[in-house]
Amino acid sequence: MDNKPEGKEREYEFTEITLRQIELSDVDDFMEWATDEKFSRFCIWDTCTSKDQALDYIKNNDIYHPWSRAICIKNKAIREISVMPNSGCHSCRAELGYELAHKYWGKGIVTRAVKMVATTIFSEWSNLERIEAFVDIDNKGSQRVLEKVGFLREGVLRKFMSINGKSRDMVIFSLLSTDVVQH
């Protein structure tokens, strides 16, 4: 029997997201989406096919990441959002990244998560003045997320990044500490 919540209860569930540290115990939730190719179309991501691979991935890429958080519904990790700082003369800016398990797409979840990060990260890191994101030119959903939060589309970087073996044009977006986050 399907016990999924219906109607208003279900909508409420998707507005109640939280962000927390990623843990090794998230591996079973991780495996639910880690083999999904829809997810990896616009990502630099080697699909994980075993639990050991997934554990290695979480250890190497999530737990040791300088700032990475699981996006959760009722504490279940449905994927992540991260901010990668730069050093030296680039320390005024950091790169935003995010991804969500396919079955949760189109419910406003990543837009909510990006707003949460955009409203807190500048006070967490006092030297930070800009967050930027690079989005595949065909990834319209991700571009829309950033526009809804208030990021500025700065332009297209031609043949900027190799994704799944092909060099891709990427759109660069930014949000400054002085910009207004849309609510």
Ligand X SMILES: CC(C)(COP(=O)(O)OP(=O)(O)OC[C@H]1O[C@@H](n2cnc3c(N)ncnc32)[C@H](O)[C@@H]1OP(=O)(O)O)[C@@H](O)C(=O)NCCC(=O)NCCS
42 binds ligand X (CB under 6 A): yes
CB 79: neighbour CB atoms within 10 A? 24
How many helices (DSSP H) and strands (DSSP E) are in the chain?
A: 6, 7
d(CA 170, CA 137): 5
Comparing CB distances to ligand X, the nearer of 111 and 177 is 111
Candidates 39, 122, 151, 173; binder of ligand X (CB under 6 A) is: 39
Contacts 24+ apart (CB under 8 A), 44-51: 44/161, 44/163, 45/99, 51/27
Site for ligand X, residues 147 to 176, rule: CB under 6 A: none
d(CA 111, CA 142): 9
Q: How far is the CB of 165 from ligand X (least distance, A)?
A: 17
145 binds ligand X (CB under 6 A): yes
Q: How far is the CB of 103 from ligand X (least distance, A)?
A: 10
47 binds ligand X (CB under 6 A): no
With CA atoms as reference, report the closest residue to 126 among 97, 91, 95: 91
Specify whether the CB–CB gap between 115 and 149 falls below 8 A.
yes
130 binds ligand X (CB under 6 A): no
Residue type, 109: I
Q: How far is the CB of 83 from ligand X (least distance, A)?
A: 13
Candidates 99, 118, 122, 168; binder of ligand X (CB under 6 A) is: 99
d(CA 117, CA 150): 13
Region of 3-11, 87-95, 107-115, 152-160 interacting with ligand X (CB under 6 A): 107-115
Candidates 142, 149, 168, 173; binder of ligand X (CB under 6 A) is: 142
72 binds ligand X (CB under 6 A): no
Q: What is the binding site for ligand X (CB under 6 A)?
A: 39, 42-43, 98-100, 105-111, 135, 139-142, 144-145
